[in-house]
Amino acid sequence: MSNKILSIEGLRKHFPVKNVWGTDIALVKALDGVDLEIEEGKTFGIVGESGCGKTTLMRTLLRLVEPTSGSVVLSDEITQNQFLSNNLEELTNEELRSFRRQIGVVFQDPMGALNPRMLIKDIVSEPLVIHGKTENMRDRVIELLNNVGLGEEHLYRYPHEFSGGQRQRIVIARALALEPKILVLDEPTSALDVSVQAQILNLLNDLQEKYNLTYIFISHDLSVIEYMCDRLAVMYLGRVVEEADTEELFTNPQHPYTKALLSATPNFNKDKEKIMILGDVPSPITYLDESKAKLATEITEQERLEIKSIEGKGLDYIVRSSLNEVLPLKEVGPSHYARVK
């Protein structure tokens, strides 16, 4: 039984949409009530299509954006019993700095994350300088580079002199500079080709074991998720629609969206059932003006009717709008929850 390192409770982030006069006319519900518990030393995966709120979840978790409501509760492992509160939003500026040292971040595009005009030695040491940990810095930077399979010979080179995979190694080295307990990995390998992808994933697994790191791993690639994650949450339009341990979720998916995701990936489509998702990705926008809201439901109804009329084509399908029904998360198996009837 391992411990949870942090929990996310009822997290919401609604971005206002303004008209040209600056009046709020609608809300983008990027996150709409997310609850998660992250276990220490494990990899927690988050999957879901573009725009479902994965990056917003991470940005809110890091307090890079303020949530509309809900909270992030830190374990004593993170606060070291040194903080006045375990609630992220109640931390003092000093405590927030200390919290941020404990979370490293790796984003998708390593080139965008590295300043092209900085030498590798300065890129990797930057967090150390910012946090005043400059003792034996050169040795520490070489140690960090060694950790990710690079070395002293790379200190005086610029990002453009490296391959994509090497650049992602540099990003990982820097993310580990302050000895974080958690790494947030937002699509860390999607910009890399498959063979390099595997090397980076193996490196991450080795580092996790070596430093007992907790990973929060975002990806839309189910093979990567299956390979890396102990547990995962499937997100749809700002909500978690299903959550379970990886093996359980892959063998026994319950929510129609999860089933459709798995059926669309040949490796996971074990019983050859093909489920199509019909319709465009629904907008996460909610209009504040009632007439517009009414129009949206009418369109949805219309969509359902049209779908009914193509029934009997030998395909299973789900209609996007049917996925929008908000059902509570229900326990459907061993620590397995899904929004199903």
Ligand X SMILES: Nc1ncnc2c1ncn2[C@@H]1O[C@H](COP(=O)(O)OP(=O)(O)OP(=O)(O)O)[C@@H](O)[C@H]1O
Measured from the CB atom, the residue of 55 and 60 that comes closer to Mg ion is: 55
Please tell me the distance from the alpha carbon of residue 68 to that of residue 218, in angstroms, as a whole number.
22
Q: Are 60 and 67 in contact (CB under 8 A)?
A: yes
Q: Which of residues 70-99 bind ligand X (CB under 6 A)?
A: none
Stretch that binds ligand X, among 54-62, 171-179, 252-260, 333-341 (CB under 6 A): 54-62
* Angle between the N-to-C axes of helices 164-175 and 194-211, in degrees from 0 to 180, rounded to the nearest 10: 20
Q: How far is the CB of 18 from ligand X (least distance, A)?
A: 10
* Burial classification of residue 176, based on how many CB atoms lie within 10 Å of its CB (0-12 exposed, 13-18 middle, 19 or more buried): buried
Selected binder of ligand X within 11, 26, 30, 323 (CB under 6 A): 30
Q: Are 58 and 246 in contact (CB under 8 A)?
A: no
Q: How far is the CB of 107 from Mg ion (least distance, A)?
A: 9
- Collapsing DSSP to helix, strand or coil, 315 comes out as coil
Q: Are 257 and 318 in contact (CB under 8 A)?
A: yes
Measured from the CB atom, the residue of 243 and 248 that comes closer to ligand X is: 243
Can residue 14 be called a binding residue for ligand X (CB under 6 A)?
A: no
Q: How far is the CB of 110 from ligand X (least distance, A)?
A: 16
Q: Which of residues 13-72 bind Mg ion (CB under 5 A)?
A: 55
Q: How far is the CB of 55 from Mg ion (least distance, A)?
A: 3
Residue type, 167: R
Measured from the CB atom, the residue of 162 and 217 that comes closer to ligand X is: 217
Q: How far is the CB of 129 from ligand X (least distance, A)?
A: 29
Q: How far is the CB of 30 from ligand X (least distance, A)?
A: 3
Can residue 284 be called a binding residue for ligand X (CB under 6 A)?
A: yes
DSSP 260-292: HHHHTSGGG-TT---EEEESPPPP-EEESSHHH
Q: Which does 28 bind (CB under 5 to 8 A by kind): Mg ion, ligand X, none?
A: ligand X
Can residue 54 be called a binding residue for ligand X (CB under 6 A)?
A: yes
Contacts of 194 (CB under 8 A, 6+ apart): none
Q: How far is the CB of 65 from ligand X (least distance, A)?
A: 7
Q: Which of residues 306-325 bind ligand X (CB under 6 A)?
A: none
Please tell me the distance from the alpha carbon of residue 235 to that of residue 31, in angstroms, as a whole number.
10
Please tell me the distance from the alpha carbon of residue 161 to that of residue 303, in angstroms, as a whole number.
52
Contacts of 139 (CB under 8 A, 6+ apart): none
Measured from the CB atom, the residue of 10 and 151 that comes closer to ligand X is: 10
For the chain, the farthest-separated pair of C-alpha atoms sits apart, in whole angstroms, at 71
Can residue 28 be called a binding residue for ligand X (CB under 6 A)?
A: yes
Instruction: Provide the binding-site residues for ligand X, judged by CB under 6 A.
Output: 15, 28, 30, 48, 50-56, 284
Instruction: Provide the binding-site residues for Mg ion, judged by CB under 5 A.
Output: 55
